[in-house]
Amino acid sequence: MPTSKVRVRFAPSPTGFFHIGSARTALFNWLYARHTGGTFVLRIEDTDKERNSEEFLGVIYDSLRWLGMDWDEGPGKGGDFGPYRQSERDAIYREYLAKLQAAGRAYEKDGAIWFKLLGERSEVFDEHRQKTVTKVANTPAIIEDLIRGHVERTEDEDFVIFRSDGNPVFHFVNVVDDIAMKITHVIRGEDHLSNTSKHVELFKAFGVTPPQFAHIPLILKSNGPGKMSKRDQGALIEEYQRRGFLPEAVVNFLCLLGWNPGDDREKMPIAEIIRLFDLPGVNQSNARFDEKKLAHVNMGYLLELPADRFLAHARSHFERRIEALAGVPTDEAKASVALYRSAISAPALFREVMLLSQPKIKSVEELPAYTGYFFSEDYPIDDKVRAKVMAKGDPKARLRELIELVRTADFGSDLALETAIKDLATAGGLGFGDYQSVARLAVSGTNVGPSITGMFRVLGRERVLARMERFLAAA
């Protein structure tokens, strides 16, 4: 545990949608601050005037709030070290530039301002760039990284700190802000490790001991080589919010991308994650993104939701789908909107159907397709499922037997209904699945869904009989 008050920062750029990699970096900073009783600072890197967007900035704020990552200092919160948007800190950057210029550590060339390294200089022809460059015999920057361990990197060329357009570059503003905001730990992606020697040189030039660095592993694409980017499928946090994933499930999944609690647990409450999280537990090896695992984690959280919260979550998703499709002029969209409105306008049936489906789904985004046949008699029949079921034995005969059973079966007990179907199957020398498959096809048009007995109970005897008889007549 650090001896001084921990101050960490998350510094996103509002130049695109908020993606998995940024969210994981924010989370590790937030967890470390909460674990140590420190301060989590949100700092906005918005010096790129051409690419910055207030829309993307709003997405950053909304995504952090949705994930439960409250910041202690930053936009909307204030603090002693603001402003917290780099676009509003120009006077501070000019003040620090003047310090370097006064010390002879900055100079102008080609309209830009360069940082001057210390050491003997020599002119060397660079074959890669096909020109002569000035090399500096500089001592290596030593980085005792809390994850990577001992790292030495040497900067042997001066580098730009202010562009010719007068704007400061990333390296300069990061170091100045970390100094001014008294940041103690810099937790960021491994791809920034190559920048760290430049940052160490700047810290030294300002006479400041660098913060402790912790470079976390990259998140790799789910398939193939390479770092996951915001263009890859499943990369955007906003997508999971739209699809109805639970924020606590996404946080749980993200924390395990490169960190483990010391055992093989996949699901932990946030209080337990905060208690256990520490930088030595972060892996050096890169983590591979796995959306199926995220869905599995989300399913576990959904399963444990109290009924009222699950119902509210499900209803909210149906309402979002209605809103999203309301202006779409296609017949399919209009039919979907009508179906979803029908579902939420029947609260008693909606409650029964949703709670019956709760143990079976990985996300509420599955619910409209998974449960549509409960709310409409005009449900489609899956042709592939029909072909498979109807090719086995004598499905019509099995359906006739089921119709007779349904007329008199006890619909008040799932167990009694299941036992009756099993007895019917045994008497015919068949298995429960032989009857279940044709019953499910006739009643729902598909081969997936909640238990067949639960489906029968919720639909009721009359609707089940009508559907079976209609299917048999058309078969």
From 182, 204, 230, 267, the catalytic residue = 230
Helices 452-459 and 432-444 cross at an angle (nearest 10°) of 40
- What's the CA gap between 364 and 112, in Å, rounded? 53
* DSSP string of 380-403, one letter each residue: ---HHHHHHHHTSS-HHHHHHHHH
Q: Which two tokens stand for residue 360?
A: 């079976």
- What's the CA gap between 458 and 23, in Å, rounded? 41
| Residue of 420, 456, 424, 428 whose CA lies nearest to 440 | 456
- What's the CA gap between 210 and 137, in Å, rounded? 22
Q: What angle do CA 87, 88, 89 make, to 5 degrees?
A: 95
> Looking at this protein, which amino acid is placed at residue 444?
S
Q: Under a CB-based contact definition with an 8 Å cutoff, are residues 148 and 284 in contact?
A: yes
Q: Is 4 exposed, middle or buried (0-12, 13-18, 19+ CB in 10 A)?
A: exposed
Instruction: Give the distance from CA 199 to its chain's centroid.
Output: 30
| Residue of 2, 11, 1 whose CA lies nearest to 73 | 11
- What's the CA gap between 42 and 224, in Å, rounded? 33
- Preceding amide of 247 cis, omega within 30: no
Place of tokens 């298995």: 431
230 catalytic residue (yes or no): yes
Residue 338's region, left for phi above 0, alpha for psi from -120 to 50, else beta, is alpha
* DSSP string of 215-241, one letter each residue: EEPPEEPSSSSSB--TTSTT-BHHHHH
> Looking at this protein, which amino acid is placed at residue 389?
V
The residues carrying an active-site annotation are 230
